[in-house]
Structure 1
Amino acid sequence: MRFFALLLASSLFATEYKIKPGEDPQAVLDNAAPGDKLTFLPGLHQHGLTKHRAILYVDKSVEIELMAGATLKLADDFCKLEKSGEITTDQDAGKKLDDLEIGGDYDLSGVREFTIITDSEGKDGKPDTFAWGDKFGDTSHKRTPITGDWQELSRGVKVKFGSKTGHNVRSVWYVSYDGPEAYGIRIGHGRQPEAISGVRITGKGTIDMNASHNLQPGFLVKNINACVLIHITMTDTNRSVMAYGEHTGKFLPGGKVGPGESFDAENITVQFTRTINPNGSGYLLGHPSFRGNLRNFRCNFNYMETKTTSIEPNFNLDGYEVIGNVIKSDGEAIHCWRHSQNGVIADNLRVGDNTFKPVILSGAPKGWEPPMPPDAKNNLNAMGSRVSGPIKSLDPKPFGRRLLVSDYVGGKVAIVSADGRIEWSTPAEHPQDSWLLPNGNVLFSHVHGAKEVKPDKSITWEYVADAKVEIQGCQPLADGRVLVVECGPGRLLEIGRDGKIAKEIKVPLTTTKTHEQMRGCRKTADGRYLVSAKGDRAVLELSADGKLLRTQPVEGDVHDVRELANGNWLIALGEGAGVVEIDRSGKTVWNVGRNEIKDNPLFLSSSVERLANGNTILMNWLGHGHLGATAQIFEIDAQKQLVRQFTDHRQFTSINHIQVLE
């Protein structure tokens, strides 16, 4: 499985390339190293297509900024009408026979979408018949007998059915004659052998696919124009944003696939963008003609003006947020089409519509599984209620305590004030543990290592791990070293101030899969090590020299363990299993189940902390299909009554660790 991640953040980069109008951005990117930055300076950057039919094709971790006044635009007349047609058959999964071919010599009379529908089934030796027309939805030529040979339609186009009989009524095909696809900035081509992660696209510029002076693909074909950008105006294209996975297997009716490899896309955020596309659509999330998986997609706080559908959760989308968008559309605002699941659609406002259209519409073509109903709330047409009038997005619920927060999917570590304001933040790729140190610096782990940064975000200490491992936790130690949790080799490492390994503890794990081995681990004051053995579903206690002292099996993929003053262990049990407190004999003395906190299911307990007053703070990680579904942090008393909660889906995605600062 392969995936790419598109992240919104600032970054520390090695080299910045400032691209002037007229310079070749693809050549600059090809020469750049991972971690570098490309900045488009103000002015018109007009180019043709390069690799994989993109103005700029991205195959490495870089930051790209379009400055205010910079426009990346497709050159005039680069995409022209083509003679070859394309059959679209996946709008209908109920076919008994899918045997249509196209041929002939198209006369290039303009963009065409031929419609072909079987309108009778042959009996008593007679063939099946079909209706057709040379426009979308046009079936004015009816009851045409199927001959099994080439049959001319119009404008030089011919079709051929493999069989004269055996088709069922209402089988639908579309044949499109149009221009080739084009992309603004394309991240990956869908089947690249290595994952592409850490790409950041920011700025206040514009990307213009120049559809006014180029032939676009038709709206039914497999590959259509798109721009995938953050903080940038997107205009004059077919879709402003598209995201989907690919699959190498044979496509079967109803979205099924045969054996093959799935190239998946995950953890993508599109927020604070502006789409001005009066002749096209907005975001397509998932695609029936590619059929890989798309997971954990956030489409929040965007402004959109489109002719047709603005936001379309589509096929094989699992876990998505559509929150706080303002939508002006002549078509549908949010259209859930084909099977998607685990979605949250909330606080979206439809404007500019006085016909009282709904904000959300759901459905599927014949033979396709319909979408799972999303968790939908507070989505309104601004004209839908003359009594209440316009609405505003739900305000975040602050926690009432100052916190240091690790946002795993959101890609940052932040200090949040008691009233919910972000006081400070820094980018971090999949952070786990984070610590505010006595000197005012912040120490945190990320998937590739650990670092200590100053308030000005400069790095004062860093450990960089081998590229083949994952770092899933850290802890500052009294002697100045840093404990690092290394998955892959399955080790606990103590790293000195020189960034080198000072001590290594090999953990006796049975789980070999890197990502599943360990999460939060702690060194106690007397030198023992407590290990959250996630895949082994156990807490391990090791001596100072690494000898196994105790194995405590648990009911869950343990993510965190804390030793309390009385010697008990407080354990976060991971996905669906809640939190448990266990005494030295292994007896459960207190626990919190998944559904014990009213109206706030504990989807994945990623971390836990016991306060001096006896209250317990729980982290509720909201990945795996639960983005935006409920509160992210809870504080409960000993009777499991809710004391306070933290909910801010505008600024945070999936919080997995906090430090209470006051």
Structure 2
Amino acid sequence: MRLPLLLTALLLVILGNSAFAQEITHSFLACGEKTYIMGADGKVSWTYPAATRDGYVLDDGTIILTLSQSKRNGGSVVSIAPDGQETLIWQGTQSEVNSAQPTADGTFVITEAGDNPRLLEVSATGKVIVEFPLACQKKNHHMQTRMARKLQDGTYLAPHLLDFADYHYARDGQLLDKLDTTAPNDPDHRIHTWPFTAIRHGEDHTLVCCTHGNRVVDFDADGKIVWTLTNDDLPGNWLQDPCGGQVLPNGNIVITSYAAGRADPTAPKMFEVTPDKKVVWKYADGQKVGIHHFQIITTNGTRLAGPSLK
């Protein structure tokens, strides 16, 4: 039976539009009280039996994890080969180890919190290559720092929560400048805009997720906030202690809300927004356990190219 010409044309339009409106899928590594890799099909493909704070999946399948502090130690950094063999890279010496970024040189940028907060860059065997003290407050160890990252020019960004700023350090530890994350009209820090991430991207922009203040801001190269995301921009109160973030190659931003799910199990733990703040992907699992940080590994089945901006 032949379809009428008009109906045939209509079907072609519908099918054509659906081809261009492909639903976004991601696979990702989740770090937090539970550590796992979630496949694009919504099924967990890998788990690790310990809580973590930061993590990376390298191109060869090796997984780098920053383990949370426990009764036995103040945290550590481990490497897990594709065959499952685990190697200790760094054993924490103070209260907490909060991040471990793999660099293009095969080293790892690590921060320790404690009486003497410090940043280290170490080799794969734990040899210290760079070490300097962090210029943050020392009273509250847990609120000293989070996701420190080495930049392409060899300098470092480190967010200092109770100092309400992201600090920019030279290789010798000299403080070059800092980005103030204090919310507008909040000089007394009542909103608690604690910076958790500092993601350098684009033309020297820096994206910062601010926990408790429930804001995500983007600074331009001159240190001016040029983009802000709050719950007023979203379908609901989805920014609930936004911790980790990642800037994708297409410019979209993925954010995790660590407290999402505690009060409302339907609230997304992670979601993706475009630069014009349109939500294009979200993830919710109905559990109260939050995601501290993450790494988007693939999008629509394709591995993301280049270093992860997270």
Q: Normalising to structure 2: TM-score of the pair?
A: 0.78
1:432 to 36, 53, 56: 53
Matched, 1:462 2:84: no
Aligned to 2:143: 516
Which runs of 5 or more residues in structure 2 are unaligned?
Answer: 1-22, 69-74, 183-192, 299-310
Provide the rounded CA distance (Å) in 2 between the counterparts of 1:659 and 1:515: 23
Rg (Cα) greater in structure: 1
Partner of 1:653: 289
- Once residues 470 and 629 of structure 1 are traced to their aligned partners in structure 2, the CA distance between those partners, rounded to angstroms, is 32
Structure 1 residues 404 and 533: CA distance shift in structure 2, 3 A: same
Residues 485-500 of structure 1 mapped to structure 2, 5 A cutoff: 485-488=111-114, 489-500=116-127
Task: Report the counterpart of residue 205 of structure 2 in structure 1.
Answer: 568
Confirm whether residue 550 of structure 1 aligns to residue 177 of structure 2. yes
In the superposition, relative to structure 1, how do residues 477 and 627 fare at CA in structure 2: closer, same or farther (>3 Å)?
farther
What's the CA shift for 1:627? 7.0
> Hey, what does 2:102 align to over in structure 1?
476
**Contact 1:606–1:657 (CA<8 Å) still a contact in 2?**
yes
Residue 541 of structure 1 aligns with which residue? 168
Q: Distance in 2 between matches of 1:418 and 1:399?
A: 9
Q: Which residue in the other structure is 2:72 paired with?
A: none
Q: Secondary structure at the match of 1:580?
A: strand
Contact 2:28 2:297 in 1 (8 A): yes
| Corresponding position: 1:503 with 2:125 | no
> Could you say what secondary structure the match of 2:239 adopts?
coil
Tell whether the 8 Å contact from 1:399 to 1:645 is kept in structure 2 after alignment: no
The verdict on how the C-alpha distance between 1:649 and 1:531 changes in structure 2, with shifts beyond 3 A counting, is same
Do the aligned partners of 1:535 and 1:557 also contact (CA within 8 Å) in 2? yes
Give distance in 2, aligned partners of 1:614 and 1:499: 34
How much is the aligned-residue C-alpha RMSD, in angstroms?
2.0
Equivalent residue runs for 1:575-586 within 5 Å:
575-586=212-223
Q: Is the 8 A contact 1:576 1:594 kept in 2?
A: no
Sort the Cα spacing of 1:625 and 1:417 in 2 relative to 1 into closer, same or farther, 3 A: closer
Asked if the contact 1:469–1:487 (Cα under 8 Å) also holds between the matched residues in 2, the reply is: yes
The residue that corresponds to 2:152 in the other structure is 525
Kindly state the Cα deviation for residue 616 of structure 1 after the two structures are TM-superposed.
1.1
> What's the CA shift string for 1:113-169, capped at 9, x where partnerless?
xxxxxxxxxxxxxxxxxxxxxxxxxxxxxxxxxxxxxxxxxxxxxxxxxxxxxxxxx
Contact 2:29 2:296 in 1 (8 A): yes
Report the CA distance between 1:399 and its aligned residue: 6.9
Task: Please say if residues 167 and 175 of structure 2, whose CA atoms lie closer than 8 Å, have aligned partners that are also in contact.
Answer: yes
Q: Is residue 417 of structure 1 aligned with residue 39 of structure 2?
A: yes
CA distance in 1, matches of 2:232, 2:77: 34
Q: What's the CA shift string for 1:183-239, capped at 9, x where partnerless? A: xxxxxxxxxxxxxxxxxxxxxxxxxxxxxxxxxxxxxxxxxxxxxxxxxxxxxxxxx
Separation in 2, partners of 1:648, 1:624: 8
* Residue 610 (structure 1) shift: 1.7
After TM superposition, the structure 1 = structure 2 runs for residues 198-277 of structure 1, keeping only pairs within 5 Å, are none
CA 1:449–1:623 in 2, change beyond 3 Å: closer, same or farther? farther
8 A contact 2:230–2:239 mirrored in 1: yes
Contact 1:516–1:534 (8 Å) recurs in 2: yes
Distance 1:629 1:519, change over 3 A: farther
Determine the C-alpha separation between the residues in 1 that align with 2:282 and 2:262.
Answer: 21
Amino acid at match of 2:55: S
- The residue type equivalent to 1:400 in the other structure is T
- What CA distance in whole angstroms lies between the structure 2 residues aligned with 1:614 and 1:482? 26
Q: Distance in 2 between matches of 1:403 and 1:588?
A: 29
Amino acid aligned to 1:439: D
What amino acid maps onto 1:425 in structure 2? T
Q: Is 1:401 aligned to residue 26 of structure 2?
A: yes
Task: State, as a whole percentage, how many aligned pairs show the same letter.
Answer: 26
User: What is the CA-CA distance between 1:585 and the residue it aligns to?
Assistant: 2.0
Q: CA deviation at 1:591?
A: 0.9
1:9-88 correspondence to structure 2 within 5 Å: none
Q: TM-score, normalised by structure 1?
A: 0.38
Counterparts of 1:595 and 1:472 in 2: how far apart (Å)? 30
User: Take 1:537 and 1:594, find their aligned partners in 2: how far apart are those partners?
Assistant: 20
Distance 2:261 2:38 in 1: 25
Residue deviations 1:496-515, cap 9 Å, x none?
Answer: 22224332121111343110
- 1:614 Cα deviation from its structure 2 partner: 2.1
Q: Which AA in structure 2 matches 1:513?
A: N
Quickly say closer, same or farther: Cα 1:452–1:648, change in 2 above 3 A.
same
Contact in 2 for aligned 1:403/1:661 (Cα 8 Å):
yes
How much does 1:605 deviate?
Answer: 1.0
Indicate the SS of the match to 2:26: coil
Asked if the contact 1:531/1:541 (under 8 Å) is kept, the reply is: yes
Q: Do the aligned partners of 1:453 and 1:459 also contact (CA within 8 Å) in 2?
A: yes
CA distance in 1, matches of 2:148, 2:264: 26
Partner of 1:38: none
1:603 matched residue in structure 2: 240
Q: Verify the 8 A CA contact 2:256 2:291 in the aligned structure 1.
A: yes
Change (3 A) 1:630 1:525: same
Aligned residue-pair number: 259
Instruction: Give 1:649 deviation, angstroms.
Output: 2.9
Question: For residues 136 and 195 of structure 2, what CA distance do their matches in structure 1 show?
Answer: 13
Structure with the higher fraction of residues in helix conformation = 2
Deviation at 1:600, TM superposition (A): 4.1
